[in-house]
Structure 1
Amino acid sequence: MKAISIGVLGALFFSITFILNHAMSSDGSSWLFSGSLRFIFMFPFLFVIVMFKQRHHLIVLHIKQHFWMWLLWSSFGFVFFYVPITFVSNYSPGWLISATWQFTIICGLLLAPFFYEYIQYEQKTIKVRERVSWRSLGTSSMTVLGVIIIQILIFQISTSKPLSYLLCL
């Protein structure tokens, strides 16, 4: 349930930014500008979160040691995450994008098997694969059902821009 709570809180903040992106695009602002703003404004929040971690100095040390890799993958994340989101905000209402964003909660839960936890056992470190929380997955399935219903209804109602609503997916 902790993962769902964090996902819902994240969705609240992202929903607000989707609505702001759409408002900026309605006023003629470029999607590149709003995408860059989103990326720049996220940095201070992430910095504060990292600094509150007990072992934040290890993260800072790792960034210093592998600066170019951090730069490469953060740029990669920007291009494949922020750019599509801000581009779509020019063609679809912000509320539709933020409703569809809820789908990422279940996607995050399904990523669990790709992560490992390291456990000390009899003077050995054992790598144990994380498991999908089936209880959380069941709860999140209701969210996905709601997203699907919204997408179907909007697609049926929309006669002027059906392609723009498909971009949200």
Structure 2
Amino acid sequence: MQFNANEDAAPLDMLAALFEARDWAIESLTDEEITGEIQGSWAKYQLRGIWRTMDNVLQIVCVPDIRVPSDKRPAAQELLARVNEQMWLGHFDLWSNGGVVIYRHGALLPDDGMLSLNQAQALIESAVEDCDRFYPAFQFVLWGDKSPEAALEASMVDAAGEA
């Protein structure tokens, strides 16, 4: 499946075409859901696209494979609240089933329910960038025993220039 950069397509078709063009693994789970894997800076992320026709909403779910043990859940919940205060689009949640951290963003599409290549790229890039940005903060809390405040502060430092 290929689309011209000026064409719009059904949301899952456009996401599938983008994944295929970048040679990322992808699998269609149902008519309303696809899943794939993307290599981020810190880990491989499972990415799902879920299309709700009745609402014209495309939900992007990115799972950075961060599992929160029960004894760390209060600190992880505090970190989630602090991280979400920094977010412009999307948010992080702690999935109650299994204690998995996930990123979610719902994009409301126009009445025709079509998605452009630029929109698809922006949604995927935003999800991966946010997971990459905050992945270390979760690691600092879960494995480094840092406070949520210190972990977030460390993850918010932007390096200047290039190495």
Per the shorter chain, which TM-score range? under 0.3
| Structure with the largest fraction of strand | 2
State TM-score, norm by structure 1.
0.27
Structure exhibiting the larger radius of gyration computed from Cα positions = 1
| Structure with the largest fraction of helix | 1
State TM-score, norm by structure 2.
0.27
